[in-house]
Amino acid sequence: MMIERALKLRQALHNLASSDRDLSKYLLSDDEWNCIIEIHELLQVCNLLTIFILKFILINIILLYSILKKDLISLLDSYILLLLLAFQLIILY
């Protein structure tokens, strides 16, 4: 994540911006860095929540699929048996 990288390189970014007159307008104050830290923490919580929700949805989809698959196979087996019985009745009569 870009914010995480910026936080790791905070001192290097500060040194770079301080050493160049054209870049000095991009120097961040301590309050701005604190704001970035808070945003980073909020995004980490949102990321964890998103992962949790996606895992929950995926588990339920897999569970529902396995239930439906069993029911579908059972239904198809019954249908095939009915067709075989009907075919035997047609042949016998």
DSSP codes, 43-79:
HHHHHHHHHHHHHHHHHHHHHHHHHHHHHHHHHHHHH
The number of beta carbons lying within 10 Å of the beta carbon of residue 7 is 14
For 33-41, what is the mean pLDDT? Answer: 96
| 46-74 pLDDT per residue, tens | 999 999 998 888 888 888 888 777 777 77
* pLDDT at 62 (0 to 100): 86
Q: What is the pTM of this model?
A: 0.61
pLDDT of residue 14 exceeding 90: yes
Q: Which residue, among 5, 8, 6, 40, has the nearest Cα to 26 in the 3D structure?
A: 6
Structure confidence at residue 64 (pLDDT): 81
